Structure formats: C-alpha cells, structure tokens
Amino acid sequence: MTTVRHLAVAALFAWTVASPSHAADTTAAQQLAHWSAQAGSPGNADKGQVLFTTRHGGEWSCASCHGTPPTAQGKHASTGKSIAPLAPAFNPKAFTDTAKVEKWFRRNCNDVLSRECTAVEKADVLAYLSALKP
C-alpha cells in the first residue's frame, strides 16, 4: 500500500510538471494515476462500469452517447454527431489532452449526474475504460 501510494504520488508529481494544456500532453495511464492519487485509492473498474452504464436521475447515462461498451464509435444522444471510441485501447487520442479531458468530464458529469464527478468517480471510470481491451 505504501509503495502504491508512493508511486501514485510520484506519478502525480510527473503529471503536474508535464501538465501545461496543449494537445497530447498526457496519457490514460497518467490520468488514472493522477485521479487515483487524488482519490487516495486506485480506481475500481466494476464501480466505474456501474457509474458509466446507469442513469443517475436524468435522461442520459454516459453510455447513451459513448455506447456500451464504449469501444466503438459513439453517437451523441441528441445531436446524432459521431463520437470517437472512449476506451483508450480503441482510440489512441482518448485521454491524451488534459484540458480536453477536464472539459468533457465537467460537462458530461453535469449532464448525467447534475454535478461534477469526484476524483474517486473519475478514477473508477478510467479504470473501467482502461480494462477494455480488443
């Protein structure tokens, strides 16, 4: 546990140093380490899957736009616009731009949960997405 926390803190430090917001400034693994460090525990893929696939009192779940599993092209639930796969193994660009990830997490969590997601929830969702492999 101490080692895990240590690694997470080291990753967080690396992330902070490398974080200025331009495209391709991070990776899914770095983001997962970042949120796990903030949450104080590693992301839980099972909880992430539940959060992602269920509705939280509103009209949409994350899966409404991103699909289940989110490994193929998604389709926006209201505009019909196509969305690149969210799972990093299926989309090399996913989770590589800090500003983009922050922006969409804020916006999408507000749409689905009527609030921002916590670090724990972000770590869980990313653990779920990272576990999806071809």
Binding region for ligand HEC (CB under 6 A): 60, 62, 64-66, 76-77, 83-84, 86, 93-95, 100-101, 104-105, 108-109, 111-112, 125
Nearest to ligand HEC of 12, 99 (CB atom) = 99
| Residues 6 or more apart in contact with residue 62 via CB below 8 angstroms | 51, 52, 53, 70, 108, 112, 125
Q: How far is the CB of 89 from ligand HEC (least distance, A)?
A: 13
CA distance 18 to 134: 29
CA distance 32 to 10: 13
Q: How far is the CB of 44 from ligand HEC (least distance, A)?
A: 14
Nearest to ligand HEC of 64, 130 (CB atom) = 64
| Residues 6 or more apart in contact with residue 3 via CB below 8 angstroms | none
Nearest to ligand HEC of 14, 83 (CB atom) = 83
CA distance 61 to 54: 5
Q: How far is the CB of 19 from ligand HEC (least distance, A)?
A: 15
Read off the tokens for 58.
Answer: 């509103």
Q: How far is the CB of 77 from ligand HEC (least distance, A)?
A: 5
